[in-house]
């Protein structure tokens, strides 16, 4: 029987690459998006071209009721939720002296509270079926910190602590919860970097390149479909930058 996955922030970047990687392994996918409807529908069509089922569901993951509705849509169509990829995230970078309260709140609410909301929304059916895989997309910034990203670092560090706590709560129910911590990945988030900033970053990466979304998708795919004795872990995928 095929597995069903919800991928938040699945319309582009890491989310899109992950959704397609899982579809290629035989999964049906619910693509969550907040604003990028046309991009989400393109991903749905690409997945369907692979012979799998897919749906695009608009939901603001920072709102529990919308996260619950998304989970219910998945359950109504597919009867189960096997895999949850908590990938939705935003940045609002600024030094702490200039950071607006709204910039703090939005990053925490999407990146951290959104992970809580979506996990809470799927955990009961996963417990009932005695099987589930939850992979949270964290960041090396949550491990090391970064000037100008106090909100993002706090959110991603929170995701890591959340991952370990929930892994302990649900391990006895056959549910494994892990995190993947990307380094600098070539996405819309990093496209805004200047050439100088990009070169400075790459000077700290032993593999001498930025990652691509597929690098993260492969790690997520392994944890979602092939790992059977790994839980509560943070898999760092950063080209060696943080070592």
Terminal-residue alpha carbon distance, the chain = 40
Q: What angle do CA 122, 132, 57 make, to 5 degrees?
A: 40
Residues 6+ apart with CB under 8 A from 77: 53, 55
Residue 242 lies in a domain: no
Would you state the pLDDT for residue 7?
Answer: 98
Burial of 93 per CB tally in 10 Å (0-12, 13-18, 19+): middle
Would you state the pLDDT for residue 188?
Answer: 73
Share of the chain above pLDDT 90, in %: 89
Please say if the pLDDT value at position 60 is more than 70.
yes
User: pLDDT band at 198, cuts 50/70/90?
Assistant: confident
Residues spanned by the domain of 100: 4-237
Residue 82 lies in a domain: yes
Alpha carbons 190 and 124: distance in angstroms, whole number: 36
| Closest to 75 measured CA to CA, from 63, 67, 64 | 67
**Which listed residue (78, 152, 184, 226) is catalytic?**
152
Answer for the pair 232, 177: CB distance below 8 angstroms, yes or no: yes
| Closest to 116 measured CA to CA, from 61, 71, 181 | 61
Average pLDDT, the chain: 96
Residue 135 lies in a domain: yes
| Closest to 122 measured CA to CA, from 88, 161, 81, 155 | 81
Radius of gyration of the chain (CA): 17
Specify the range with the lowest mean pLDDT, choosing from 12-16, 44-48, 151-155, 187-191.
187-191
Residue 148 belongs to domain with CATH number: 3.40.50.720
Question: And the tokens for 228?
Answer: 């059977």
User: pLDDT band at 189, cuts 50/70/90?
Assistant: low
Residue 243 lies in a domain: no
Residue 54 lies in a domain: yes
User: pLDDT band at 40, cuts 50/70/90?
Assistant: very high
For 184-243, give the DSSP string: SBSSHHHHTS-HHHHHHHHTT-TT-S-B-HHHHHHHHHIIIII-SS--S-EEEESTTTT-
Q: Is 152 a residue of the active site? A: yes
How many domains does the chain fold into? 1
């Amino acid at each position: 029987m095929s597995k069903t996955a919800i991928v938040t922030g699945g319309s582009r970047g890491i989310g899109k690459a992950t959704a397609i990687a899982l579809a290629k392994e035989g999964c049906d996918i619910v693509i969550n998006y907040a604003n990028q409807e046309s991009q989400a529908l393109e991903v749905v069509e690409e997945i369907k071209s692979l012979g799998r089922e897919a749906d695009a569901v608009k939901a603001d993951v920072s709102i529990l009721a919308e996260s619950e509705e998304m989970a219910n849509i998945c359950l109504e169509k597919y009867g189960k939720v096997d895999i949850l990829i908590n990938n939705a995230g935003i940045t609002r970078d600024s030094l702490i002296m200039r950071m607006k309260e709204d910039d703090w709140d939005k990053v925490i609410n999407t990146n951290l509270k959104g992970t809580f909301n979506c996990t809470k929304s799927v955990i009961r059916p996963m417990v009932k079926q005695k099987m589930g895989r939850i992979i949270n997309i964290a960041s090396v910034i949550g491990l090391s910190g970064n000037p100008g990203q106090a909100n993002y670092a706090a959110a991603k560090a929170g995701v890591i602590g959340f991952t370990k706590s929930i892994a302990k709560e649900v391990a006895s129910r056959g549910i494994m919860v892990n995190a993947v911590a990307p380094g600098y990945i070539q996405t819309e988030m990093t496209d805004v970097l200047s050439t100088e900033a990009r070169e400075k970053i790459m000077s700290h990466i032993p593999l001498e390149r930025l990652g691509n979304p597929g690098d993260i998708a492969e790690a997520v795919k392994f944890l979602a479909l092939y790992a059977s004795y790994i839980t509560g872990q943070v898999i760092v995928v950063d080209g060696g930058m943080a070592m």
